[in-house]
Amino acid sequence: DTAVSQTPKYLVTQMGNDKSIKCEQNLGHDTMYWYKQDSKKFLKIMFSYNNKELIINETVPNRFSPKSPDKAHLNLHINSLELGDSAVYFCASSHLDRRTEAFFGQGTRLTVV
């Protein structure tokens, strides 16, 4: 049973294209996140949704648009991809309680060529 699953695992695309990454969790959590991990392994939060509502929106280009159709899903759409968008993107979920940990998906390695 996969707790947080994201697809695809690998994504290679050309500059200027639009792509989406999907994420689903079956843990019954009410909060979901997108994190970006750069080539130096640094993890930075991009977005957070609680019960389908955006609660965290860090300084991210507006080419990145999250969508949460329900509290078990949080998708990430990226327009006009740039070379600098190449990274590993992680979806995560948790309860909205600071004492609880986040569960992470396996990551999507995005390569823009």
Partner 1 sequence: AQSVTQLGSHVSVSEGALVLLRCNYSSSVPPYLFWYVQYPNQGLQLLLKYTTGATLVKGINGFEAEFKKSETSFHLTKPSAHMSDAAEYFCAVSEERNQFYFGTGTSLTVIP
Q: Judged by CB under 8 A, how many residues of this single chain contact partner 1?
A: 29
Pick from 12, 15, 27, 55 the residue near partner 1 by CB under 8 A.
55
The smaller minimum CB distance to partner 1, of residues 41 and 83, is found at 41
Question: Which amino acid makes up residue 16?
Answer: G
CA gap 17, 1 in Å, rounded:
33
60 near partner 1, judged by CB under 8 A = no
Q: Which token pair is 43?
A: 């993890």
CA gap 98, 70 in Å, rounded:
22
Which positions touch partner 1 (CB under 8 A)?
4, 31, 33, 40-45, 48, 50, 55-56, 90, 92, 94-107
